[in-house]
Amino acid sequence: MIKEPTLILNEAIARKNIQTMVQKAERNKIALRPHFKTHQSHEIGRWFREYGIKSITVSSLKMAVYFAEDGWDDITVAFPVNVLEIDRINLLAQSINLNLLVESPEAVQLLNKQLKYPVNVFIKTDTGYHRTGVDPTNYTLIDRILEEVEKAELISFRGFLAHAGHSYDARGIDQIAQVHNESIARILSLKEHYKYRYPELALSVGDTPTCSRMEDFSGVDEIRPGNFVFYDLTQALIGSCTEEQVAVAMACPVVAIHEDRNEILVYGGGVHFSKDRIVEEKYGTIFGKVVTDDGLGWGRVVEGAYMKKLSQEHGTIYAPKEFIAKYKVGDIIKVLPVHSCMTADLMKKYLTTEGNTISMLS
Amino acid sequence: MIKEPTLILNEAIARKNIQTMVQKAERNKIALRPHFKTHQSHEIGRWFREYGIKSITVSSLKMAVYFAEDGWDDITVAFPVNVLEIDRINLLAQSINLNLLVESPEAVQLLNKQLKYPVNVFIKTDTGYHRTGVDPTNYTLIDRILEEVEKAELISFRGFLAHAGHSYDARGIDQIAQVHNESIARILSLKEHYKYRYPELALSVGDTPTCSRMEDFSGVDEIRPGNFVFYDLTQALIGSCTEEQVAVAMACPVVAIHEDRNEILVYGGGVHFSKDRIVEEKYGTIFGKVVTDDGLGWGRVVEGAYMKKLSQEHGTIYAPKEFIAKYKVGDIIKVLPVHSCMTADLMKKYLTTEGNTISMLS
């Protein structure tokens, strides 16, 4: 029985999301190296293994160590290498195939000075998101990085990697396609330029919006989406998925009802959901959408019922009067999260709709 | 040596913040029942004990259990009681003086049905924040709640409690004073109304902005500020404190430098800082402010250097060219957080500027 804020996971939906992405990769004859920062769980990782996945992506060295402990031996840490964590890098490089990201000659030098075991590097490439990475037209900088890589006995050049994170600003398939096509064109120009010098170089791309909706990945070697395993309201807003494909919901106890202003106060706040928000045309800024209850699981999104405000432990749900009339203190309300990766990271475990508890990295 | 995102705590500043609030309560002859949701740490709780604090506030029953384990025996859970956690309530009520919040006759009935040991209740009162609580002019509802309390053998009425959280929208002392005066007037009217029936009834108020800046608490029995132990950029923006009174800073490794757009990318994102934000006139929406480095501690805020954007693990710092020129990959940058309670909740431990690690509730 649910007594406090609990992250509910529908395994069947998550498995279907995994299977769909695996099939898309197979159709396109590209490798799928899913990003495990979304679920951060040994058990959910093993579901991917059942669909043939052998190599993965993570966002921190700590997460790489956690998954290496469960037998994953080909891991890309999709974050500009933090050379201060050289002990974890050496620990991993000693036993697994470790792929790191570099984007400056200085990072390669620092890495090289302290490495004890071989690693591969991708050059992190900025294909339009402008968070980080090298400009794909800046051959001078790329050549300087490659020069340092050549000098380093334990570092092998693997290829170019990009994350078109600006796809999160897209709304609908046309805008997703625009981000995808521009981003792919930019990284393909690098393969064109360097393929004679490095015939084996790989191109790695992949964010959930483009991987979910696009069909043409010609020239690309692998994709790295992560969020798709659960999806969330952000992805539904972008158009990567439907609300029915969202595999996680937060269950929150009702602690007070304010009928006069159409509000229900639940136990479930920013320390449970995270404070990620979306702006919906109908509702303005929201932090979640209410779904109907269905045993341990949930049903459809309730029109007009959403998480309006979050403070540390409190969540304020706005809902139609007829919805509010059905609830009383001590009941549970289920809410689809805005950003499933952040919510899972806070909740540290899952309760499946079959009643099983699944642990994750803590 | 710092290798990954680390929450640094300046014990001297925190102790000074505690001492200042203790002295204010003494001057006003009111009890100080500090809210421990900010630090969530046994060790920091013990610092308060050294200044004579004997009773505390928390925001969840889990947190109450954690602090009861360290000998705190008078705890208010400042959250509308979650009756589903009756096991924790009975566990606590058996051994400590437990104060719960109620705001409906239904919650009192549900509680009464399952209680095995005595508890006290405050009626949660809405003095203008409109998050939750009863309208202080709704005597009909309050009388119905009191009627249920009278019937319940194990439940004693303690008084009225309010949290004027709308003080967080105030900017400057005049606006803080306006929130304070209105809120206090509303809760005092309840004491006036009920004091003959309940001569012992207590009034409990207190948010960090009003408790930090106001001097007159006449008629009030106790204050419950929490954030003041660390303060943060939100409180500095409101005018509750200066930036020099902020007792925590995040230390983040530099992983990439983008001189062309005045940016430094650090390891330190939404899973470390939380995504709480403030809007500053000079900078727009920001997630932190950069401070100068000073051994294990930090110095002053650097003009024009702030956290511009956060994703899951990445933080983008915008800074003047002359600041950026001083940094290289592998260095550490320190950043004052927007909301110290949320940042501490995510980081789960502190490193003091004296080099000690302090644990917290996990």
Assembly ipTM: 0.95
Contact B239, B209 (CB under 8 A): yes
How close B20 gets to chain A, by Cα (Å)?
25
CB contact (8 A) between residue A256 and residue B328: no
- Say which of A84, A104, A342 has its CB closest to residue B271: A342
CB proximity A270 to B under 8 Å? yes
- Best of A40, A84, A113 to disrupt the B interface (most B CBs within 10 Å) is A84
Q: Per DSSP, what are the bridge partners of residue B156?
A: B120
Nearest to B122 by CA among B67, B184, B57, B166: B57
- What pLDDT, in 10s, does the model give residues B175-198? 999 999 999 999 999 999 999 999
Which residues, listed in sequence order, are joined to residue A109 by a DSSP beta bridge? none
Q: Which of B60, B274, B316 sits opposite A313 (nearest CB)?
A: B60
- A107 to chain B, any CB pair closer than 8 A? The answer is yes
Summarised one tens digit per residue, pLDDT across range B333-354 is 999 999 999 999 999 999 999 9
* CB-CB under 8 Å, A261 with B79: no
A346 vs B contacts (CB less than 8 Å): 346
Nearest to A265 among B80, B83, B255 (CB): B80
Strands A6-9 and A349-352 come out as parallel
**A345 contacts in B (CB within 8 Å)?**
271, 312
Q: How far is A27 from chain B (nearest CA, A)?
A: 30
Across the interface, whether the CB atoms of A345 and B313 are under 8 A apart is answered: no
The single residue listed with the structure tokens 């009191």 is B146
- The verdict on A104 touching B (C-beta cutoff 8 Å) is yes
**Is A104 within 8 Å of B329 when comparing Cβ atoms?**
yes
Q: Which residues of B touch A101 (CB under 8 A)?
A: none
Q: Give the confidence band of A322 by pLDDT, cuts at 50, 70, 90.
A: very high
pLDDT at residue A217 in the model: 95
Tokens matching residue B145: 């709640």
Question: Are the beta carbons of B104 and A271 separated by less than 8 Å?
Answer: no
CA dist B86 and B61 (Å) reads: 10
Residue A86 Cα, gap to closest chain B Cα (Å): 9
In chain B, what residues touch A103 (CB-CB under 8 Å)?
A: 256
3-class secondary structure, A166 = helix
Distance from CA of B345 to the nearest CA of A (A): 7
Q: What residue in A sits closest to B124 (Cα-Cα)?
A: A256
pLDDT value, residue B354: 97
Give the one of A110, A257, A345 whose C-beta lies nearest to B271's C-beta: A345
Residue B313: name the closest of A61, A158, A287 by CA. A61
Q: What is the per-residue pLDDT for B84? A: 98
> Which pLDDT value is given to residue B198?
97
Return the residue in B104, B312, B345 with the most chain A beta carbons within 10 A, the one to mutate for interface testing.
B312
The pLDDT score that the predictor gives to residue B270 is: 97
pLDDT for position B14: 98
Residue B57 is predicted with a pLDDT of 98
Q: Does A165 touch chain B (CB under 8 A)?
A: yes
If we measure between CA atoms, which residue out of B69, B79, B298 comes closest to residue A267? B79
pLDDT of residue B329: 98
Of all residues in chain B, the one with the smallest CA distance to A86 is B3
pLDDT confidence band for B319 (50 / 70 / 90): very high
Instruction: Answer whether A161 touches B (CB < 8 Å).
Output: no
Residue B304 φ/ψ region, left for φ over 0, alpha for ψ in the -120 to 50 degree band, beta for the rest: left
Confidence of residue A123 (pLDDT cuts 50, 70, 90): very high
Please indicate whether, in this complex, the C-beta atoms of B3 and A328 are within 8 angstroms of each other.
no
> Best residue in A255, A258, A273, A314 to probe B by mutation, most B CBs within 10 Å?
A255
Give the pair of three-digit tokens for residue B1: 């040596």
* Partner residue opposite A80 with nearest CB, options B83, B103, B265: B265
What would the pLDDT profile of B80-134 be if each residue is shown by its tens digit?
999 999 999 999 999 999 999 999 999 999 999 999 999 999 999 999 999 999 9
Contact A312 B341 (CB under 8 A): yes
What was the pLDDT predicted at B257?
A: 98
Contacts of B278 (CB under 8 A, 6+ apart): B233, B234, B237, B285, B286, B338
- From B79, B330, B362, residue closest to A84, measured CB to CB: B330
DSSP E strand boundaries for chain A: 6-9, 31-32, 56-58, 74-80, 97-102, 119-125, 155-162, 202-205, 222-223, 248-258, 263-267, 278-280, 284-286, 288-294, 297-310, 314-318, 332-337, 349-352, 357-359
**Confidence class for position A78, pLDDT limits 50, 70, 90:** very high
**Residue B129, pLDDT score:** 93
Please give the average per-residue pLDDT across B289-305, as a whole number.
97
- How far away is chain A from the Cα of B82, in angstroms, using its nearest Cα? 6
Output the pLDDT for position B274: 97
For A348, the closest chain B residue by CA position comes to B362
- Residue B338 to chain A, least CA–CA distance (Å): 13
Yes or no, beta carbons of B329 and A83 under 8 Å apart: yes
pLDDT at B252: 98
Say how far apart CA A4 and CA B82 lie, in whole Å. Answer: 8
Q: What does the pLDDT read at residue A290? A: 98
Binning pLDDT at 50, 70 and 90, where does residue A150 land? very high
B137-177: pLDDT as tens digits: 999 999 999 999 999 999 999 999 999 999 899 999 999 99
CB-based contact A256 B80, cutoff 8 Å = yes
Nearest to A311 among B131, B312, B313 (CB): B131
pLDDT at B53: 98
Spell out the alpha helix ranges (H) of chain B: 11-27, 42-50, 61-68, 86-95, 105-114, 139-151, 173-194, 208-213, 233-238, 270-273, 321-324, 340-347
- What's CA A178's distance to the chain center, in Å? 21
**3-class SS shares of chain B: helix, strand, coil, % to 5:** 35, 30, 35
In A278-307, the residues whose Cβ lies within 8 Å of chain B are none
